[in-house]
Structure 1
């Protein structure tokens, strides 16, 4: 059995794994999984929470993309997964996992190149500066904002809190995840695609996001990926444009190559 907590949507014969992003959890993709299962009765959508994230086994010191991907490979083999879809960090984990579990990968607002988002360091600094515990989520939220976390993402960060006697505390190892991000986000994963045969079937990018630049999109198209840009959507493209993302994935998953959209 996989060590990762998972939730399954749909009861089709073809299994697809959905992977969430950094500091998130499987819950972040439940709405997308439901939308996919509604559109495609042939699909069984498995949504795990990655190692090191809330509710999942801890990430070992010095953890890497490979150590996260090993769990996904195990899950994919056990579930008979025929494709992996990953948002942000989940997409990068999917690329590494597909070296061993040879299935097509769909990326949600991420590319194989080094991550260059400019605001991530400020978020990590605020997360590390916040107290270990607080009387309430609201109090922790105020502490995060005071430490420099942008207001709109504070509720998302607070999803990593768990109830404790007298209030809330962090359910993740913040320092370990921050160290992981600082070493792994700068890695260039193109050699996995262009040198080791990982199949990137498609990429859905947000038109208002800087995570997949025009050059990366062109390079993805060069290896046969279908690249779809959703105008006005940000990095959380599956939240900003749920129906559009679900429609692209529904039309593309396990259906072979299509013309770029």
Structure 2
């Protein structure tokens, strides 16, 4: 399964970087979460062979423009639409994790003709407080960068699955290793992700799979309300899994994902 890297310049001069894993249509497009990158989903892409898979670095993340001026939901949606239109002549299966799930939801609502099936891993209509966002920003600002080595980064960030993903994705510069995101951009981004978008969610008619982890970030009431207010939603629950279940419950994740994407 060969992988090629692409870059697309969108209307506000932002560069969106993405990888294409060659395969059969319809393509599967995958969107990572906040402070992540497309690299996290490389194992997922390979596990979906022989399907064509497109992994997008959303603006402010990965190899895409690090500090975009526009971090609105409209901008994120527009980036995904541009990539889909550039890489596929038919509707795609759109998959998103956390913030990426929110982006995927809004793409499916605004551009239903582009989305065949929708998969949301640990996503919902939007929530969170200003205090939560400030604490998140403080956490990322607390990183003592640059890290002198990946071992130094592991000692600082820990060796859990998410920390391992961060360490693997660090950018090498002359003076050390840096994260592929800016803390202030993350706070601006998540502040608008938090605004509830029930109208958009309730308008989606594409078959949708909502995937939750038992150790994730949502309460049972939140999960039940979100699924209950959707039009065409199936729920799957992963056990002994975190919010980043694609990393720490990979086999369960792939099983439910494959099953949904291949259902007739």
CA 1:239 to 1:161, structure 2 compared with 1: closer, same or farther past 3 Å? closer
In the alignment, which residue of structure 1 is the partner of 2:183?
Answer: 174
- Structure-to-structure mapping, 1:34-45, within 5 angstroms: 34-37=46-49, 41=50, 43-45=51-53
TM-score, scaled to structure 1: 0.81
Contact 2:59 2:68 in 1 (8 A): no
Could you say what secondary structure the match of 1:231 adopts? strand
In the alignment, which residue of structure 1 is the partner of 2:3?
Answer: none
Could you say what secondary structure the match of 2:45 adopts? helix
- Structure-to-structure mapping, 1:212-251, within 5 angstroms: 213-223=220-230, 224-251=232-259
Could you say what secondary structure the match of 2:187 adopts? helix
In the alignment, which residue of structure 1 is the partner of 2:81?
Answer: 73
Structural RMSD (CA): 2.7
2:104 maps to 1:94: yes
Give the whole-Å Cα distance in 2 for the aligned partners of 1:58 and 1:68. Answer: 13
How many pairs were matched up?
244
Could you say what secondary structure the match of 1:233 adopts? strand
Aligned partner of 2:8 among 2, 16, 31: 2
- Structure-to-structure mapping, 1:1-261, within 5 angstroms: 2-3=8-9, 4-37=16-49, 41=50, 43-80=51-88, 81-102=91-112, 103=115, 104-115=117-128, 122-140=135-153, 152=160, 153-181=162-190, 183-194=191-202, 196-197=203-204, 199=206, 201-211=208-218, 213-223=220-230, 224-253=232-261, 255=263
Contact 1:136 1:167 in 2 (8 A): yes
Give the whole-Å Cα distance in 1 for the aligned partners of 2:92 and 2:176. Answer: 42
Contact 1:95 1:198 in 2 (8 A): no
CA 1:210 to 1:58, structure 2 compared with 1: closer, same or farther past 3 Å? closer
CA 1:20 to 1:189, structure 2 compared with 1: closer, same or farther past 3 Å? same
Contact 1:17 1:84 in 2 (8 A): yes
The Cα shift of 1:218 comes to 4.3
Give the whole-Å Cα distance in 1 for the aligned partners of 2:186 and 2:57. Answer: 14
Residue segments in structure 2 that go unaligned for 5+ positions in a row: 1-6, 10-15
Give the whole-Å Cα distance in 2 for the aligned partners of 1:250 and 1:24. Answer: 22
TM-score, scaled to structure 2: 0.80
Contact 1:72 1:97 in 2 (8 A): yes
Contact 1:9 1:44 in 2 (8 A): yes
Q: Which has the higher strand share?
A: 2
